[in-house]
């Protein structure tokens, strides 16, 4: 799918890796100026930024905001105003995972997951709203998960945060509906990224089974297609949501999960 985003400006949080990187590339490929964000080695991040900019012929910036720090998140949004004079698209994507039974779940891990996977989207949305309202157009897309709709054992903080982000999505959608701003959530099933690769090892430990068994009987067991969701499939939905054609899709939680949550 392609849609012209020429002249528009976007922020994608957690875009130094995985899904966020793919989504940011798709926006840049369609003409949007993009602010990347995320953790990682500064030299690698700079190479990613420069490559995306050169490949698509658009301005690509990087902001190092830590998604646990509200002031840094606000400054990242302010960078769009400072550099581009506008913000059309905000993709709240940064996220982490930790797998453990609740009784052993480290309290600081719970707090960190809620901060990065849920509260950071509140801070970014809060900071973006005045610009989007003034423009009378905006698109906020939250990367939730199939785990925003259903649970799995040992992922209490992640499942709670992802259910929470659907509540934030619906509330913001109602508040912004008359301002030309839509707010939606994409709920992917399993996508093969570093986040999932790390889980394979963690799940094997928590369940006392081999990594191969986790892939076969845990990860793809939930997904009726028995196939990982691809970056291209997520890019396609994002491009639709940010296009003019997506203007009436608002407050929706859209599964891209091969049928997982149909069960």
Q: How many residues bind ligand NAD (CB under 6 A)?
A: 29
d(CA 52, CA 54): 6
The dihedral built from the CA positions of residue 84, 86, 89 and 95, taken in this order, carries a sign that is positive
Q: Which two structure tokens, joined as six digits, stand for 119?
A: 């509260």
Q: CA 75, 29, 94 angle in degrees (round to 5)?
A: 40
Question: Which range binds ligand NAD by CB under 6 A, 32-40, 42-50, 99-107, 240-248?
Answer: 32-40
Question: Which range binds ligand NAD by CB under 6 A, 33-41, 42-50, 130-138, 205-213?
Answer: 33-41
Q: Which of 34, 118, 143, 239 binds ligand NAD (CB under 6 A)?
A: 143
According to CB under 6 A, which residues from 71 to 110 bind ligand NAD? Answer: 93-96
The alpha carbons of the chain give a radius of gyration, in whole angstroms, of: 18
Cβ atoms 185, 196 nearer than 8 A: no
Q: Which two structure tokens, joined as six digits, stand for 42?
A: 């500064």
Q: Least separation, in Å, of the C-beta of 128 and ligand NAD?
A: 16
The reply to whether 165 sits near ligand NAD by the rule CB under 6 A is no
Q: Which two structure tokens, joined as six digits, stand for 29?
A: 């490929």
Q: Which of 58, 67, 166, 237 binds ligand NAD (CB under 6 A)?
A: 67
Q: Least separation, in Å, of the C-beta of 188 and ligand NAD?
A: 4
The reply to whether 214 sits near ligand NAD by the rule CB under 6 A is no
Q: Least separation, in Å, of the C-beta of 85 and ligand NAD?
A: 24
Question: Which range binds ligand NAD by CB under 6 A, 100-108, 172-180, 192-200, 235-243?
Answer: 192-200
Residues with a catalytic annotation lie at: 158
Nearer to ligand NAD, 68 or 233 (CB): 68
d(CA 156, CA 130): 33
What is the x/- site pattern for ligand NAD, positions 35-54, by CB under 6 A?
--xxxx--------------
Residue with tokens 């069960």: 263
> For helices 156-176 and 107-114, what crossing angle results, to 10°?
20
Q: Which of 29, 31, 59, 68 binds ligand NAD (CB under 6 A)?
A: 68
> For helices 120-135 and 156-176, what crossing angle results, to 10°?
20
Residue-level length of the chain: 263
Residue with tokens 């966020």: 20
Q: Which of 30, 145, 169, 253 binds ligand NAD (CB under 6 A)?
A: 145
The reply to whether 223 sits near ligand NAD by the rule CB under 6 A is no
The SS3 assignment for 141 reads: strand
Q: Which residues of the chain form contacts with ligand NAD (CB under 6 A)?
A: 14-20, 37-40, 66-68, 93-96, 116-117, 143, 145, 188, 190-191, 193-196
């Amino acid at each position: 799918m392609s849609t012209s985003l020429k002249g528009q400006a976007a922020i994608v949080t957690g875009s130094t890796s995985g899904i966020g990187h793919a989504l940011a590339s798709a926006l840049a490929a369609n003409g949007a100026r993009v602010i990347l964000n995320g953790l990682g080695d500064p030299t690698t991040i700079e190479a990613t930024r420069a490559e995306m900019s050169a490949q698509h012929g658009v301005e690509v910036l990087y902001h190092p905001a830590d998604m646990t720090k509200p002031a840094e998140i606000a400054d990242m949004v302010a960078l769009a105003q400072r550099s581009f004079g506008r913000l059309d698209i905000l993709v709240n994507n940064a996220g982490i995972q930790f797998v453990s039974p609740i009784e052993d779940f480290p309290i600081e891990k719970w707090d960190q997951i809620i901060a990065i996977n849920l509260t950071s989207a509140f801070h970014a949305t809060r900071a973006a709203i005045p610009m989007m309202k003034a423009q009378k157009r905006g698109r906020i897309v939250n990367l939730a998960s199939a785990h925003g709709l259903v649970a799995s054992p040992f992922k209490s903080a992640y499942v709670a945060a992802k259910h929470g982000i659907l509540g934030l999505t619906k509330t913001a959608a109602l508040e912004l509906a008359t301002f030309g701003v839509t707010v939606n959530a994409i709920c992917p099933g399993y996508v093969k990224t570093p986040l999932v690769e790390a889980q394979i090892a963690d799940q094997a430990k928590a369940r006392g089974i081999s990594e191969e068994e986790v892939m076969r009987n845990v990860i793809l067991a939930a997904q009726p297609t028995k196939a990982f969701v691809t970056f291209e499939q997520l890019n396609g939905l994002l491009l639709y949501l940010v296009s003019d054609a997506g203007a009436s899709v608002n407050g929706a939680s859209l599964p891209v999960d091969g049928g997982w949550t149909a069960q």
